[in-house]
Structure 1
Amino acid sequence: MTPPRSPAPDPGSGATYVFAVCRDCRAVNTADLSGLPGMPGGGQVRLVPSGALTAVVQTVPAADFTDEVWQTRLADRQEIERYARAHHEVVSAAAAHGPAVPLPLATLYHDDARVRGVLDDEAARFHSALRRVAHHAEWGVKVYRAAAAPQPQPAPATPRSGPPAPGAGLAYLNRRRGAHDRRERSREEALGVAESVDAELRGLAAASRRLRTHGAALAGDRRVHVLNATYLVAADRTDELRRAVVALRERTDAQIELSGPWVPYSFVGEA
């Protein structure tokens, strides 16, 4: 869920960085949060309450979050990962005490007063999202099939001299067509497995999302990625989910990776 953003703060001042929104002050143990470093260069992680909602925030140098600086940071993989890990660490600590709505990386406001205004203005949406994710976690599932070993391209059987043997061209075309048909059958079978895995896991989940599969294999990984999905699963169905994944691996002989539990980043925006 992305609340309306304030105009960019004065780069020479401090700004209020918001990590997450919880139900109330009792939902978060301040002592558990104040020891977290949060964003590089920021102050102590703290709470900003308004009504029944509480924002988990930190004062940061506004100059570190101007559009120009942030675009430069986005181009540096190690740097952006450092900020993303810091953000996630605070969000996870807040979510450990109860339902929390994680806000996107680099959500900034002029000051605490503006944060309170957002909590008041968007209270209905925040409460809806909190009800949705309460006692639930996000789980990721990836399904792969092994890539076929590259086959040598069939070549037409042509004698060194004289005319081609009768039927040589047709045999060559048939070999090419057969190789293509085998690849298509393998692809359709893999996609069928992905659909069956997704259908079964959706039956266990309160909500699900299909994500883009990896376009290119990682170095040294010849697997083909056929399903990338995430599921919002109730805490009391976690064991059932794990058993289902084990059973699906055995039944389909597919390579299925389960990751989690995660703070439900993918589902708070659907409220």
Structure 2
Amino acid sequence: MNTPIEDTLTYVYAAAPLTTQVRDALADLRGIYGSPVLFVTTAAPTYANLPAPLAFAASHVPCGDFNESALKTHFEDIVWLENVARAHHNVVQALTELTTVLPLRMATVYQDDDRARRALADRHDSFAERITQLAAHTEFGVKMYLVPATPPAEAEPAADTTTDAATTPGKAYLRRRRAQHTEAEARYGHAEEAAAAIEAVASRYASQRVRHPSQSGALTGPAENVLNDAYLVSDEHARQFKAAIEQAATSFDSVRIEVTGPWAPYSFAMPPDEREQQPQGEGHNP
């Protein structure tokens, strides 16, 4: 990236212990727009239980694309969002393969490295404590889709003049609508039963759960997403967790259950008591 440094912002991907292995292995890593991944550190002493001083993994990005007004426009551009999200995720996943990572929210940017450094210093102990709590844990996603039971309704057939007068097209339509409503209620009821069963199974292996809003639109296709949960699972129980969820899913034929992961613990970067109070990676353009 040839943008002059004075025309850039400091984009932060994650916080992580800056071990020699991490520093060496990521020397050639590229992030947003192919920019090098750098490390912003502080003078804070190494936190207990961390293998090395804490650092931000960061890149310099064009101010014209990542200032507040530009981001408002870019967040409506699906292609741009996908490219940035993919680059952000690739950096976080590369770090995750080497150490415990505290992922930050996409588009967490600071005015410059000094501002990022001060932000890291201000929250150093809370970040470090959270990293120690997340050690040897990864995130799994569990999504449930209500699969359409019947194909989309076709156009209304022409009235049959030979049909008994008591069975008019209007009455036939109302009967179909009542039947569809009854079927939908039954399917949602089955989905609630499946969700309860999945949650019971997951709780045997997971230490925390976050319930995300259901997805819609192009992300789900024709199926309706009715459950979108994230679970924090120890590496020791990861295989059992995934196998148990997939086994439980076979008991419910009216829904499709999808297990994804393991991922870096995006949903658990903040402790439970902070998730509702403060956006992750606060401090956009401070």
Shorter-chain TM-score: which interval? 0.7 to 0.9
1:156-235 pair list within 5 angstroms = 164-165=165-166, 177-216=178-217, 221-235=221-235
1:227-248 CA deviation, whole Å, 9 max, x = no partner?
2111111111011012202311
Q: 1:27 to 1:236 in 2, by over 3 A?
A: farther
Q: Across the two proteins, how many residue pairs are aligned to each other?
A: 257
CA displacement at 1:147 relative to structure 2: 1.1
What corresponds to 2:267 in structure 1? Answer: 266
SS in 2 for 1:252: coil
Indicate the structure (1 or 2) with the bigger Cα radius of gyration: 1
8 Å contact kept, 2:104–2:269: no
1:209 deviation in Å? 1.4
What is the CA deviation profile of residues 156-208 of structure 1, one whole-angstrom value per residue up to 9, with x for unaligned ones?
A: x99879x9559xx9998777545432331222112221222123213321111
1:94 CA drift (Å) = 1.7
1:120 aligns with 2:121: yes
Residue in structure 1 matched with residue 68 of structure 2 by the alignment: 67
Deviation at 1:104? 1.5
Corresponding residue SS for 1:69: helix
Alpha-carbon deviations, 1:6-39, whole Å to 9, x = none? xxxx99533322211113x217522322212212
Shift of 1:138: 0.8
The question of whether the paired residues in 2 share the 8 Å contact of 1:27 and 1:97 is answered with: no
Query: Between the two proteins, what is the percent identity of the paired residues?
Result: 32
Q: 2:14 matched to which residue of 1? A: 20
Q: CA deviation at 1:152?
A: 7.5
After superposition, the Cα gap between the structure-2 partners of 1:82 and 1:224, relative to the gap in structure 1 and judged at 3 Å, is: closer
CA contact (8 A) 1:140 1:258 kept: yes
The equivalent residue for 1:136 is 137
Are 1:132 and 1:268, in contact at CA under 8 Å, matched by a contact in 2?
A: no
CA-to-partner distance for each residue in 1:28-53, whole Å, 9 max, x for gaps?
522322212212163x3222222222
What amino acid does structure 2 have at the position aligned with 1:241? F
- In 2, the alpha carbon distance for the partners of 1:240 and 1:41 equals 38
Instruction: Give the TM-score, by structure 1 length.
Output: 0.79
Shift of 1:153: 10
Equivalent-residue separation in structure 2 for 1:15 and 1:190 (angstroms) = 46
- The answer (yes or no) to whether the contact 2:139–2:232 under 8 Å persists in 1 is yes
Instruction: Confirm or deny that 1:29 pairs with 2:22.
Output: yes
> Using a 3 Å threshold, how does the CA distance of structure 1 residues 104 and 224 change in structure 2: closer, same or farther?
closer
Would the aligned equivalents of 1:12 and 1:63 in 2 still touch at CA under 8 Å? no
1:73-119 Cα offsets, whole Å, 9 max, x none, are 22221122111111111111122221111112222223333222222
| Aligned AA (2:229) | A
Q: Quick one: which amino acid aligns to residue 118 of structure 1?
A: A
The alpha-carbon deviation at position 127 of structure 1 amounts to 1.9
Query: Who is 2:90 aligned against?
Result: 89
Which letter maps to 1:39?
A: I
Q: Find the counterpart in structure 2 of residue 45 from structure 1.
A: 37
The secondary structure found in structure 1 opposite 2:214 is coil
Please report how far the alpha carbon of residue 62 of structure 1 lies from its aligned counterpart in structure 2 after TM superposition.
Answer: 2.7
Q: Partner amino acid for 2:236? A: D
Give CA deviations for 1:109-143 in whole Å, capped at 9, x if unaligned. Answer: 23333222222211222023212321111111112
Structure 1 alignment gaps of length 5 or more: 1-9
How far the C-alpha of 1:225 sits from its partner, in A, is 2.5
TM-score (norm 2): 0.76
